[in-house]
Chains A and B, each alone.
Chain A
Amino acid sequence: MAVDVLEHGHGAHPSAPPAAPRGLRRLTRGGWLRALWTTPLAFGLATALVTGARAAAHWDPVWDLQVLLTVWTIVTPLGFLAGLGAFDYWAYWISGRPARPEDHSGHGADSWKDYFRVNTDHKVIGVQYLCTTFSFYAVAGLLALFVRAELANPGAQFVDTQGFNGLVSAHAGIMIFLFIVPVFAGFGNYVIPLMIGAPDMAFPRLNAVSFWLLPIGGGIMLAGFLLPGGQFAAGWTNYPPLAEVNPVGNLMFQMGVQWAGASSILTALNFLVTIITMRAPGMTFWRMPLLVWSNFVTSLLVVLATPFIAGSQFLLLLDRVLHTNFFVAPDGGFAIGYQHIFWFYSHPAVYIMILPGFGIISEIISVFARKPIFGYRLMAISLVGILILGFSVWAHHMFVAGMAPWLRIPMMVTTLLIAVPTGIKVFSWLATLWEGRIHFKTPMLWALGFVTMFVIGGLSGIYLGSVPIDQHASDTYFVVAHIHYVLFGGSVFTIFAAAYYWFPKMTGRMYDERLGKLHFWLTFVAFNVTFFPQHYVGLRGMPRRVADYAPEFSDWNMVSSIGAFGLGAATLIFFYNMIVSWRHGERAPSNPWRALTIEWQVSSPPPKFNFDEIPQVVGGPYEYGVPGARHAVFDGARTPVGEPEKVGTH
């Protein structure tokens, strides 16, 4: 459908792609070879521009690393993207050269090489997203292990305090902006078009660019470790004035967030347009799977909120580089103003990081309990409730920050009320289990693990939501425990659930069930060993983000560190299972879980353009146990969906 729209316009559109160029001409064709010279070229131009301008104006020093980094991190990635061919189609269009809307040479993957170029196939992009974000998960997890190694005993062990603050900040920054937020864009990319019966996303070329912005953001953040003065080290919240007086590494957070944020916004726009305009016939909003619902709501959050964090980091950048005075108190700036802008994104970001997980859990619990999701409509409505309330609670991160005192009570009320729609979801999942036939496959273990761990994280959130209790618990390890229960026990558990659930669809192979279960149980135990004691040390008086702490907390910190290394070991099992199964796993049938949603009604992996016939949606997505009920049928054959797959699936 998207293709139809783009077809009009330029007169000439030869349908066959031009023959591959040879010799030196290969350097002019979009791809890694061209990026190999356009990237250094852009870097050189940026350097010449800055040093030239500074020399001409007699500014000292001519070589100012802070200014150079600002321009480098904007211009160099653009050179890289242009070289890779991310803008080729638009450049052809703009310059009046023949653009080829029907050229599908950039779509789909026939070999592994197709995953390393600008690709317009949402399934390839989904896999690109997932592989990239899981790599960042490994990196940020490693950083966390350094942190836990340092904190295993009081006193200084391995790193100095700049090193420690850098590790803590980069761990959080990368986990949030390069793993949890974008990994859901990866699952969404792969699954949403299939689930709604669409051939691709609404804007495939934009989709390709969205992905390639991500490794750029990650590369910038990681490069901070190499800079003089070290990595950005003011926490992932990057509060001024500290962020403004810290060494230049701080810029790498500010600019990394811009690229990752732009990626996030563009993908969300794509999801919104895709979900609104490209649903298969019969797929009304009340027949959409909850995963689609949750991504719809999440995308609204992303589009409305992400510009605020972009703004907050740009204002910091202006303060640092152009010496404006947004947040510098002696010059009339207001440090708390930053926090309001920052949290106006970063609180909704909590929901951006959990709502897609809610969707995943709804799919999995329904399929593996063999029952319709309990209270489907209320489940969808509660997502919208979270969306609306989610924008009115940001200042609960600032109860002790010194903001306008009157704001505390209203924000406390909305914060506590948001427990209501969240509670509805938890109770509905439990009710879905009731009288079901529960199959404990790996995805289901993760889903059940999620529900219990997320409840603990939600309940510790009730404590933090109460202003007076927060006055004690804020900025302590209690908060560290809380966010890891909602982000790790919450989001990451849903991510693992999704990885196992859709692995057969994406790769056409089955993962190893025994290793999957081992991964779950080891993670479940190690997770609680790591993070549960942190509630205790936090309430007893251990502040967060400290490289050293009072000796009375040493025992429980040692326990936390041992747990953390257990988590590291579990992650190795996961990666081993994914990589080996992808290559050598048993062939997956198209519908190993006997699910009703549409992505399971096509082959594993699906054909390049998803559907040979457009599916017709005739009922709800979770009608398990309802005799004769169907979610979708394919016009031509009119075969009852699900039936043929029942043979030999286990």
Chain B
Amino acid sequence: MIIQLAVMGVVIGAASMAAALYIPWLPDIGSKEGGRIDDLYLLASIICLVIFAIVASVSIYAVIKFRARPDDEEDGKPIHGHTGLEIVWTIIPAALVTVIAIFSGVALVKNEDLKADHRLIEVKAAQFAWSFTYPDLDITTGILRVVEGEQIELRMESEDVIHSFWVPEWRLKQDVVPGTVQRLIITPTRTGSFPLICTELCGLGHATMRTTAIVLSREDFDTWVAEQQQAAQAGGAAEGKQAFVNAGCGGCHVLADAGGTGQVGPDLDKVLPSLDAEFIRASIVDPNADVAAGYQPGVMPETYGDQLSTEQLDALVDYLVEATKG
């Protein structure tokens, strides 16, 4: 009896452990802090699957072994309890969850250890766009670019409702609450482009409040910084294109020249040729005043008028007219 039960438990435990290990439940890890979280995840999985295997095998075994025959009117054995067993299944789970709590606490403290030579990035969230400011570089962009291996501290503020910052590959998430400054500490360890997602319901455009986090090598990051500063100085079309890319317009609109492929708002390559500069400007600054047929009002952020300088806005409008003329 005990042997049958033990075999069943081992089989179920091994099968579920295999499912846990061979299926890629989590995206490939991309940060140092996330690595500690993945270790905890493994620890929790081992504990949980052992418990699951015990519960599953005992219930399957009991259901098969102790089922009553159709006309069996007998009662079961009147067992009222067993103090020893009851103590065991109070103490052992308590010990196991204590282990998880201790390791979790340690990981949390380590993950929030801020190094002296970190990079500070200011994050602004607004319905429904992210913007990232590098105060020492005087750059503001809608796409987060960070350096591989360099610890960053995000200081996040919201202009309207609660948003939440999440990059699944980094494993870290933090709500951005109006009236407060929220912090998040991340050390990216893998270069590449990762989705950056708002995970707190923030209104009509919540599902579209996404951008990209790009992890670069230090050289690539420096090159990007230099390009940005040049474009800002050059003005004109270069600055306009930069504004388009940095404000994340391509996340919702198609614009071939700047690599925009989003399907949320109107296709700019198609609609802009028939519109004048004044209308384009008005649509950026006050997008809900005149919404294109077939599109929902209230989705495009109303904050671009404040976010972009007059100079940048002029450059952006000029660029949009230029880029869609042919």
Contacts and interface: CB of A to CB of B under 8 A. Distances in A.
B199 A476 contact: yes
Interface in B67-85: 67-68, 71-82, 85
Interface residues of B, number: 86
Contact of B179 (A329, A408, A417, A426): A329
Contacts of A374: 79-82
Interface in B46-85: 47-48, 51-52, 55-56, 58-59, 62-63, 66-68, 71-82, 85
Interface string B23-52: 111110000001011001100100110011
A1 interface: no
B201 A165 contact: yes
B175 A400 contact: yes
A162 B204 contact: yes
A650 B178 contact: no
Interface string B283-326: 00000000000001011000000000000000000000000000
B73 to A, nearest CB: 7
Interface stretch (B113-121, B166-174, B222-230): B166-174
B75 A438 contact: no
A427 to B, nearest CB: 4
B238 interface: no
A472 B37 contact: yes
A531 to B, nearest CB: 15
Contact of A234 (B112, B160, B197, B201): B201
A110 interface: no
A471 to B, nearest CB: 5
B104 A468 contact: yes
Given A372-B79, A400-B164, A541-B27, A334 B179 contact: yes
Nearest to A549: B207
B55 A335 contact: no
A170 interface: no
Contacts of B246: none
A448 B108 CA distance: 38
A155 interface: yes
B93 interface: yes
Given A438-B66, A462-B47, A466-B104, A541 B195 contact: yes
Interface string B177-198: 1111010000000000001011
A280 interface: no
Contacts of B71: 650
A400 B78 contact: no
A127 interface: no
A463 B40 CA distance: 9
B62 A241 contact: no
A293 to B, nearest CB: 16
B158 to A, nearest CB: 8
A83 interface: no
Contacts of B66: 369, 433-438
Contacts of A471: 37, 171-174
A235 B59 contact: no
A334 B177 CA distance: 9
A401 B173 CA distance: 9
A408 B112 CA distance: 13
A8 B72 CA distance: 54
Interface stretch (A46-54, A355-363, A623-631): A623-631
Interface in A136-160: 155, 160
B62 A475 contact: no
A402 interface: yes
Given A401-B175, A437-B76, A541-B195, A463 B48 contact: yes
A24 interface: no
Interface string A362-382: 000000011110111110000
Interface string A439-482: 11000000010011001100100110111110110111000000
A420 B76 CA distance: 28
B263 interface: yes
A540 interface: yes
Residue with the highest number of chain A CB atoms closer than 10 Å, among B48, B105, B200, B204: B200
Contacts of B299: 161
Contact of B41 (A165, A330, A469): A469
Contacts of B171: 468, 471-472
A430 interface: yes
A412 B47 CA distance: 17
B62 A438 contact: yes
B97 A417 contact: yes
Contacts of B206: 161, 165, 545-547
Contacts of A437: 66-68, 72, 74-76
The DSSP consensus for interface residues of chain B is: mixed
Contacts of A40: none
Interface residues of A, number: 91
A68 interface: no
A70 to B, nearest CB: 22
B219 to A, nearest CB: 29
Contact of A626 (B78, B104, B108): B78
Nearest to A649: B73
A646 to B, nearest CB: 7
B162 interface: yes
Contacts of A545: 201, 206
Nearest to A378: B86
Given A401-B177, A468-B107, A543-B198, A416 B97 contact: yes
Residue with the highest number of chain B CB atoms closer than 10 Å, among A235, A419, A433, A472: A472
A210 B74 CA distance: 43
B101 interface: yes
B22 interface: no
Contacts of B41: 463, 469, 472
Interface string A511-545: 00000000000000000000000011001110111
Nearest to A478: B25
B143 interface: no
B203 interface: yes
Interface of B: 23-27, 34, 36-37, 40-41, 44, 47-48, 51-52, 55-56, 58-59, 62-63, 66-68, 71-82, 85-86, 89-90, 93-94, 97-98, 100-101, 104-105, 107-108, 111-112, 160-162, 164, 166, 168, 171-180, 182, 195, 197-208, 263, 296, 298-299
Nearest 7 interchain pairs by C-beta: A329-B179, A541-B168, A625-B75, A436-B76, A371-B76, A625-B78, A546-B207
Given A329-B178, A465-B100, A625-B75, 18 more contacts: A336-B177, A336-B180, A371-B79, A402-B174, A419-B93, A423-B93, A430-B55, A433-B63, A435-B66, A435-B76, A436-B62, A438-B68, A452-B56, A459-B48, A463-B44, A540-B27, A625-B77, A650-B71
Interface of A: 155, 160-162, 165, 234-235, 239, 241-242, 245-246, 329-330, 333-336, 369-372, 374-378, 400-402, 405, 408-409, 412-413, 416-417, 419-420, 423-424, 426-428, 430-431, 433-440, 448, 451-452, 455-456, 459, 462-463, 465-469, 471-472, 474-476, 535-536, 539-541, 543-550, 623-626, 646, 650
5 contacts: A330-B178, A401-B177, A416-B98, A469-B44, A476-B199
